Structures are given as structure tokens and as C-alpha cells.
Amino acid sequence: MVELDHIITGINEKDARSWGKLYALCYCVLCAYVESIIYDTEASKDIVQELLINIWRSDVKFRC
């Protein structure tokens, strides 16, 4: 959990390295989840990519 707390703190601070870790840890899982709903691999990748970009651009802060 310490690693995840560190990543979340970095995400809140817009630290590119933390975002890279988030991407590495979650991208495939998120794509698989979205694909299980919409049954379209390429669209799933696009949705997850847009989600991550929108979170990056937002002022949302996550709690650890």
C-alpha cells in the first residue's frame, strides 16, 4: 500500500513518473474492464486513454 500511496500523491502533484507507474499498473486492466462492457478493443483503448488525459487535465485530487 505504501507504493500506491506514493503513486497517488504523485498523481495529485502531476508528477509524470507517478503517472507512468499508474499507466503501467492500470492501463491493461482498465482496457479489459471497458472492453468487457463495450466489446470493442480499439474503442476501449481510446476510452481509457481519454480518461487518463482528462484526469491529468482536471483539478481532481485523490485521497490516499
36/13 Cα distance (integer angstroms) = 32
Whether the pLDDT of residue 1 is over 90: the answer is: no
Confidence of residue 2 (pLDDT cuts 50, 70, 90): low
pTM of the model: 0.82
51/26 Cα distance (integer angstroms) = 12
Whether the pLDDT of residue 3 is over 90: the answer is: no
Contacts of 49 (CB under 8 A, 6+ apart): none
Q: Closest Cα to residue 18, out of 28, 8, 29? A: 8
Q: What is the pLDDT of residues 10-55, one digit of tens each?
A: 999 999 999 999 899 999 999 999 999 999 999 999 999 999 999 9
